[in-house]
A and B are shown apart, each in its own frame.
Chain A
């Protein structure tokens, strides 16, 4: 059965819309307002990061956000409790490191996500070889497990990962950790092309998509983008309204690409 996130993203993509998924670190000051602002200004889904003490896939901005959220007392339980009360109007996926899941237990964590209205989970340190116990618990609870592919994934492996992914396929745009870069890496477009050939799932580019122009470049090939550090930095520096403005700017930029392509 196709889950809520995937149905939603497929329908929008098939209607010709470029997909935009902003990432917000849960537990930061103003994070729930940022989710509402992002949804109101054109996000198709929201990715909520559950802060972890040792975020090895994250660069300085999201590390700092995680530390700040943890220092403010955020826990996986407090974040999921707050999420339950949010009606963003678009699906929510959580991103968390595997020890957060492992610590609570697969079944309990999956049930907790479901009861908080979370559609999907992205667990970047859970590879295809290790994902089965979690993914089957998530499947049973109706939670979609979004898998990631990287520039280093060979085609044959990419296809197997895509086959296990639900919600969308997350393509890691570059060799490196999350964070803003001056240019979109050439690996982002190359990987998105390979992914598009391998799967009919919505293909989103994340990691290193740093502004509206880069998002526009990415959706020339991919179905959409995930934007993390650029969103989180605005939330930390300027607050939730700035997140809304930024999402609107990216929305306009990627819509223009799609319209040109049709034009």
Chain B
């Protein structure tokens, strides 16, 4: 099992709770509320019911015979793309929305840069009758246009973040500024395993359903754990979710970062958005902008537990380029009939690149989201022929 952080919210030397005093009492309240809910069988069963009846869990495993056999590996996908709203984000969001309601909060606020954490919370808020506002980096709006209308249809208020670099990190800043002003009645639903304690722990627990299912499913399918478990990493919630099922075993754990947002690969420890973690920053401690073809991975930091897993050597965090990602995106569509989210195409890009060194191995990849949201952007990249 992944370890629980101590009272100081640390995973090794990472994590913590670096927020303005205004928010500290809210973080302490949330920590108590989450601990209480997570140990409450009634809450857990309500969440399980929602995950089954609303989100459509469990998600299946799909073996990619075409892709795998050509490359001498056995490739298995964990199909989080088949969840309602099309990604793993719903696992966390349903948990946090239930918790918000339990805490008596009427309003929720969130950030998004990704296509993945916007529709899911709006859906959960609609279902549970909560008011919802979501901040999105203004620069991401064009490539996320296909997600903005559904969010509005679901009743969410979508607010462009116009400060700073106008990307995901600035959407987080705006969400935190909102929360500072509204903390008494507003719940901040962070979309990934990042932010101040207890968010990295809480989001991990809500996403651990991926790893729990995958572990049992691999056991049934393979009779053992896979040799390699691969997921993309921006903040890192889908990766921590699937890693959580295998961290105790001997499977190699691989979190794939975008080359332009490689917090673990290129960052040094720093503190932003409430946590100490690897962070892309300049020599003066100014946070640098991330650049990735995938809006969801355009983040200069990473969840603190990933920093800890990297520092201890339990997981590794290579990066792939946008070009490798585009090829992988097309490859999965053509050979397996699945259009992956650009985020997940990062994981596949690494698998394709490293397959020669993994001959005969069984590789489990978390297909954390579907690619429908990315097709307009890919049409710009590939042309209307889709690159054929």
Contacts and interface: CB of A to CB of B under 8 A. Distances in A.
A125 B18 contact: yes
A103 B287 contact: no
A127 B18 contact: yes
A153 B21 CA distance: 7
Q: Find the residue from A53, A102, A104, A129 having the highest chain B CB count within 10 A.
A: A53
Interface string B263-293: 0000001111110100101011111100000
A152 B284 contact: no
A175 B184 contact: yes
A154 B22 CA distance: 11
A126 interface: yes
A127 B19 contact: yes
Given A59-B177, A63-B164, A77-B284, A151 B270 contact: no
Interface in A73-129: 75-77, 98-100, 102-104, 124-129
Interface in B8-36: 8, 16-26
Contacts of B285: 52, 76, 99-100, 102-104
A130 B288 CA distance: 24
Interface of A is mostly: loop
Q: Find the residue from B17, B24, B285 having the highest chain A CB count within 10 A.
A: B285
A5 interface: no
Given A56-B176, A153-B21, A100 B284 contact: yes
Given A54-B164, A75-B284, A148-B20, A125 B271 contact: yes
A176 interface: yes
Contacts of B271: 98-99, 102, 125
Contact of B181 (A124, A127, A161, A176): A176
Contacts of A53: 164, 286-288
A63 B164 CA distance: 8
B7 to A, nearest CB: 9
A147 B21 CA distance: 9
B20 A124 contact: yes
A129 B9 CA distance: 10
A150 B20 contact: yes
Given A175-B180, A175-B183, A54 B25 contact: no
Contact of B173 (A56, A70, A176): A56
A138 interface: no
Interface string A164-179: 0000000010111100
Contacts of A104: 285
Given A56-B173, A63-B163, A129-B8, A150 B22 contact: yes
Interface in B285-304: 285-288
B177 A54 contact: no
Contacts of B183: 152, 175
B300 to A, nearest CB: 9
A54 to B, nearest CB: 5
Given A75-B284, A129-B8, A152 B26 contact: yes
A98 B177 contact: no
Given A56-B173, A98-B271, A177-B181, A127 B17 contact: yes
Contacts of B19: 125, 127
A33 interface: no
A241 interface: no
Contacts of A259: none
A128 B24 contact: yes
Nearest to A124: B20
B194 to A, nearest CB: 13
Q: How large is the interface on A (under 10, 10 to 19, 20 to 34, 35 or more residues)?
A: 35 or more
B359 interface: no
Q: How large is the interface on B (under 10, 10 to 19, 20 to 34, 35 or more residues)?
A: 35 or more
B284 A76 contact: yes
A148 B284 CA distance: 24
Interface in A141-197: 147-154, 157, 161, 172, 174-177
Given A99-B281, A102-B271, A129 B17 contact: yes
A177 B180 contact: yes
Nearest to A207: B22
A255 interface: no
Contact of A152 (B177, B184, B276, B287): B184
B182 A175 contact: yes
Interface in A193-248: none
A67 B164 contact: yes
A126 B18 contact: yes
Nearest to B268: A103
Contacts of A59: 177
B22 A151 contact: yes
Nearest to A158: B21
Contacts of B370: none
Given A54-B287, A63-B163, A152-B184, A129 B24 contact: yes
B180 A57 contact: yes
Contacts of B8: 129
B287 to A, nearest CB: 5
Given A75-B284, A77-B284, A100-B284, A172 B173 contact: no
25 contacts: A53-B287, A53-B288, A54-B173, A56-B173, A56-B177, A57-B20, A60-B163, A63-B163, A63-B164, A76-B284, A98-B271, A99-B270, A99-B285, A102-B276, A125-B20, A127-B17, A127-B18, A128-B24, A130-B18, A150-B21, A151-B22, A152-B22, A153-B24, A175-B22, A177-B177
Nearest first, the 4 A-B pairs at minimum CB distance are: A103-B285, A176-B181, A150-B22, A53-B286
Given A70-B286, A157-B25, 5 more contacts: A53-B288, A54-B170, A67-B164, A98-B271, A99-B271
